[in-house]
């Protein structure tokens, strides 16, 4: 079977405080991504978000999975894609979009046929997928890394100098609730998303990439006064509930893709936790 999925249910912060390391990883870590020749999806009950991947060694068609109870995947959804592999194409109801490394594509609700293909099956594209429920249809749009809205944040002195590439976000792409982008840390910087924050009106998923071989990222989550951590490797993702911080520190610099959905589209809507208040 070329499409597989799993379902994750929402957990309260009080319950998560009691989790063992294995339980924490089982609940929030997504570690089955980027498998050759497959589409792997994780359906989370946090805002009915889906995170997954498609790695076409032969053309792969995105099909509706059972939890959607839909005739086709985007019947009531929108989709964001960022290619983290070699060049490939996405066919959307007959229109072909070419995505180079780190290009993004937004696909609006109502598009029926989504087909992934690699230019060279021996060096496949690796499409990272995020999807959220949608209430109306907006135009499909490709966004290259060069076309992203860029924010320069942090500094080398605090080890968090980074470029935030806003790709599927208001002012660049019109969407219902899905937002996606890519944050690249500069050499010598390892901390992302500092100061940490929560946004009770939106959930988020982080996908880590460009993590060097034999290196790792320690991802922090939990309430600001009850933090937990998950050690992560290249091409793994982690679910962040609305009540949880989401930040990390690597043993080398790296990149991560953030995707989120929920109550609003205000990127700056966040409740900051002071670094000195974290526990």
Per-residue pLDDT of the chain (279 residues; tens, 9 = 90+): 689 999 999 999 999 999 999 999 999 999 999 999 999 999 999 999 999 999 999 999 999 999 999 999 999 999 999 999 999 999 999 999 999 999 999 999 999 999 999 999 999 999 999 999 999 999 999 999 999 999 999 999 999 999 999 999 999 999 999 999 999 999 999 999 999 999 999 999 999 999 999 999 999 999 999 999 999 999 999 999 999 999 999 999 999 999 999 988 888 889 999 999 999
- Cα 277 to Cα 6: distance, rounded to the nearest angstrom: 36
Give the DSSP letter of residue 193.
Answer: S
Determine the pLDDT at residue 264: 85
Determine the pLDDT at residue 1: 60
Say if residue 201 is preceded by a cis peptide, omega within 30 of 0.
no
Q: Which CA distances in Å does 272 have to 178, 226, 229?
A: 22, 15, 19
Determine the pLDDT at residue 197: 93
Read out DSSP for 67-92? Answer: GG-SSSTTSSEEEEEEE-SS-EEEEE
pTM equals: 0.97
Determine the pLDDT at residue 131: 98
- Cα 257 to Cα 142: distance, rounded to the nearest angstrom: 16
Cβ 260 vs Cβ 179: under 8 Å? yes
Q: Which CA distances in Å does 16 have to 70, 215, 221, 259?
A: 32, 27, 10, 22
**Between the CA atoms of 197, 199, 200 and 205, what dihedral angle is there, to the nearest 10 degrees?**
-100
As to burial, measured by CB atoms within 10 angstroms (0-12 exposed, 13-18 middle, 19+ buried), residue 175 is buried
Name, in order, each residue with C-beta under 8 angstroms of 12's C-beta and a sequence gap of 6 or more: none
Q: What 3-state class would DSSP assign to 229?
A: strand
């Amino acid at each position: 079977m070329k499409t597989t999925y799993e379902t994750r249910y929402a957990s309260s912060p009080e319950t998560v405080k009691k989790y063992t390391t294995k339980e924490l990883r089982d609940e929030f870590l997504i570690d089955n991504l980027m498998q050759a020749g497959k589409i792997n999806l994780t359906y989370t009950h946090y805002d009915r978000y889906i995170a997954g991947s498609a790695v076409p060694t032969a053309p792969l068609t995105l099909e509706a999975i059972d939890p959607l109870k839909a005739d086709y995947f985007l019947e009531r959804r929108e989709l964001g894609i960022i290619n983290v592999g070699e060049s490939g194409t996405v066919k959307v109801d007959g229109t072909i979009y070419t995505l180079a490394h780190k290009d993004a594509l937004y696909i609006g609700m109502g598009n029926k046929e989504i087909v992934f293909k690699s230019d060279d099956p021996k060096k496949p594209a690796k499409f990272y997928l995020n999807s959220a429920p949608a209430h109306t249809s907006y135009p499909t749009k490709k966004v290259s890394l060069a076309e992203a809205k860029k924010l320069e944040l942090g500094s080398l002195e605090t080890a968090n100098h980074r470029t935030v590439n806003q790709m599927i976000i208001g002012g660049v792409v019109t969407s219902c609730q899905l937002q996606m982008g890519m944050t690249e840390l500069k050499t010598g910087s390892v901390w992302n998303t500092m100061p940490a924050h929560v946004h009770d009106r939106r959930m988020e998923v982080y996908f880590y990439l460009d993590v060097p071989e034999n290196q790792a990222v320690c991802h922090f989550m939990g309430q600001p006064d009850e933090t937990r951590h998950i050690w992560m490797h290249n091409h793994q993702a982690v679910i962040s509930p609305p009540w949880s911080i989401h930040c990390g520190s690597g043993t080398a610099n790296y990149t991560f893709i953030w995707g989120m959905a929920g109550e609003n589209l205000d990127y700056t809507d966040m409740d900051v936790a002071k670094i000195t208040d974290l526990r």
